[in-house]
Amino acid sequence: MATTTAVVAGGGRGIGAATSIMLARAGAAVCVLDVDPVRAATVVDEINSAGGRGLAVEADLRQNDQVVRALETARMGLGTVNLLVNVAGGMNAFAPFKPLHQWDAETWDEIVALNLGYVFLTCRTILRGLLEAKSAGVIVNIASISGETSAPNHAPYGAAKAGLASLTRSLAVEYGGHGIRVNAVAPGAVVTPATANRESAMGTTPLGRHAVAEDIANAVIFLASPLSSFITGQVLLVDGGASSTFPLTTPSDVS
């Protein structure tokens, strides 16, 4: 990936940090884009200390002006961006999980913005740059098993991730003729700093363990590499076989 310039949106921790580091090890120049500048700088320090080329950029991905400014900073610092990985998302900040009738409209909007809305902003900006440069490129979105199958008590998250899967397929169709591939990785349960306190509630998988961030990053690397040059518009489940053993249980019940 020596000619790859990547932006990892939400690259400061968990899956994003693992992806940023692995991309750098593969030879890509990596912009770690995160709302927390300390997290981003920590990952970039690790990349640079290992001989890679990294750049930390702070941005609230839900704000279009900040997204545009951040990606322009990445372009100026590292060159034309030809790989975008959209990792930011989640709903742990809104726990406990609960049934639909208990969610308020404001929180619903926040969860959708965090998991789907910002991807429109990052993809639109990157696509405009690729088209202007007449450059091929790759986008990899982090979706979720929750967008592929049904589980109780986190409807806004599942709906947003299902929307992300649909957006992925739409972009693959719209931009494939320009040499731009768009795919998604849909993790199951992943042990990260954001989910460690819920590990016991994640259930089990046929492989007998939960994923770690590097398992998901490996799938991203594959979809970003020439090994997947004829793959686009796909959602790759990386769940240890969990989707074969649903229903998924969640920490709370309808009441």
Active site positions, annotated: 157
Buried b (16+ CB within 10 A) or exposed e, 27-36: ebbbbbbbbe
Tokens of 42: 């920590």
Of 81, 57, 90, 187, the closest CA to residue 139 belongs to 81
DSSP letter for 34, please.
E
Tokens of 96: 């406990």
| CA distances, 220 to each of 5, 100, 141, 213 (Å) | 15, 32, 9, 11
Instruction: Identify the residue whose tokens are 């998302």.
Output: 89
